[in-house]
Structure 1
Amino acid sequence: MSEIKHPAHLEAEKNPVDELQKFWGRWGKQASYGLLVLAILVAGYFGYKNFISEPKEAEANKAIFRAEEYYREDSTKLALNGDNANPGFLKVISKYSGTKAANLANFYAGSCYLKLGDFNNAVKYLKEFSSPVKQLQIRAYGLLGDAYSELNKKEEALEQYKKAGTYYEKDEVFSPEYLFRCGALYETMGRTQDAIAMYKIIKDKYPSTPRGAEIDKYLARLGVTQ
């Protein structure tokens, strides 16, 4: 009977220590460089966060405070441009770019420009804003719709009104209002069926809101009586 020969790798298991030594002998320099780069990146991230990012956020929050007060007082130009001692929203945006305060300042600046009738700048700054706070994002979409509507960019306005009206259905303050504005704009464009569709959403989903309470008369005007 002939002798059965086993493959070499079954004759004896490889010594893991020997294998590691071989690997390190061949790739040790490259591995060391890789670990060094990783260590530098990790240290850089935490250094940036602790010594640059977080202090900048705190400073930005302090800087925007007076501008927000001016905004609440309806002192629109002071809120936008600041006074001799305090920065306005525009300065916060330019000086503290990348911070949460600067992002919020984009919303405020867009709103200020809308009040001042500068609709192009309103669009510019509102488009730069985004927020995980749903009601605030609804408001930003709605203000964008208003700005586009004032610029007679009706399709863009409709898009933003739809976003505002459908972004967060649980909201009963802004959602029905912007659905209504969307429907009203459709009416001015002669798109009756689209207007009816918007008004029906209000009737079905927001019957207890101010817009919901009066929506039947707008539907009746368009021939819908049920």
Structure 2
Amino acid sequence: MATATRPGSGKPTPPVNSATTSSAPPGAQRPPLSDRLGAWFRAHTQITSWVGAILVVGAGLFVWTLSTKHRTEEIASRDLQGARFAFENQNYPLAASELAKVIANYSGTNAAAEARILLANARLLEKQPQQAITVLKDFAPGAPQAYRAQAYGLLGAAYEDMGKPRDAGESYENASAAARLDFLKAQMLSDAGRAWTNAGDTTRAVAAYRRIVSEFGKEGIAGEAKVRLGELIKGTAS
């Protein structure tokens, strides 16, 4: 292998080893991840500042939303108490007026949902089934789970009062499906059976009563369902 000589000295210059020119000696370890992340953040201070600001603002908005919702629920509950007092004292016109205000002012709250249930009750007690239907028809399908069965049950009663047993039967069956307790499921099915019978739909009436007997046989209303079922089957056979 040829060697270079230093100018003017005649002495050979040692050959350059390429391994000695690499950036890191063999076997050298990379810096820890925490150090590398720290270096990246120091090199990108503007980006990290923006990210931090966004996180702080987001957290603040979340807390503010929760706080506002909580305050709204408290105010709505107080207003609902006054309307409920009028309802319990059978001052239905005043109750209806106050309940309508709760519904309008606090839409989306639990108090507003309960106000709809009470308002529908007030309308039915005042012999105003059409107004009760107006209150419940659009509300019932999307009502909170805790109020859905009641909403459909009252809607069924309103349809019965209006002489619409077929619509009543559908509403009662929806109420049974939404109910959480077996006795209420059975009661709503019994109401559906009555409505279907009045509508002249024996097939659906029989199906409703059979469900009570087969699925809710331990409930008190099962005895009545057996009687109604027997009457319907006997009437069909004759």
TM-score calculated relative to the size of structure 2: 0.70
> CA separation in 2, counterparts of 1:62 and 1:69?
11
The sequence identity of aligned pairs, in percent, is 23
* CA 1:175–1:21: 2 relative to 1, 3 Å: same
Which sections of structure 1, spanning at least 5 residues, go unmatched?
1-7, 82-87
> CA separation in 2, counterparts of 1:60 and 1:107?
15
Which sections of structure 2, spanning at least 5 residues, go unmatched?
1-23
1:37-56 mapped onto 2 (5 Å cutoff): 37-50=54-67, 52-56=68-72
Three-state SS of the structure 1 residue aligned to 2:233 is coil
Three-state SS of the structure 2 residue aligned to 1:190 is coil
* CA 1:199–1:169: 2 relative to 1, 3 Å: farther
* CA 1:20–1:163: 2 relative to 1, 3 Å: same
1:214 corresponding residue in structure 2: 224
Larger radius of gyration: 2
2:80 corresponding residue in structure 1: 64
2:205 corresponding residue in structure 1: 195
Three-state SS of the structure 1 residue aligned to 2:204 is helix
Structure 1 residue 78 corresponds to structure 2 residue 94: yes
Three-state SS of the structure 2 residue aligned to 1:223 is helix
Structure 1 residue 145 corresponds to structure 2 residue 162: no
2:168 corresponding residue in structure 1: 157
> CA separation in 1, counterparts of 2:107 and 2:178?
27
* CA 1:19–1:139: 2 relative to 1, 3 Å: closer
TM-score calculated relative to the size of structure 1: 0.73
> CA separation in 1, counterparts of 2:37 and 2:219?
74
1:167 corresponding residue in structure 2: 178
Q: Which residue among 39, 44, 50 is the counterpart of 1:21?
A: 39
Deviation at 1:137, TM superposition (A): 3.6
Three-state SS of the structure 1 residue aligned to 2:125 is helix
Three-state SS of the structure 2 residue aligned to 1:59 is helix
Higher mean Cα deviation, 34-43 or 119-128? Answer: 119-128
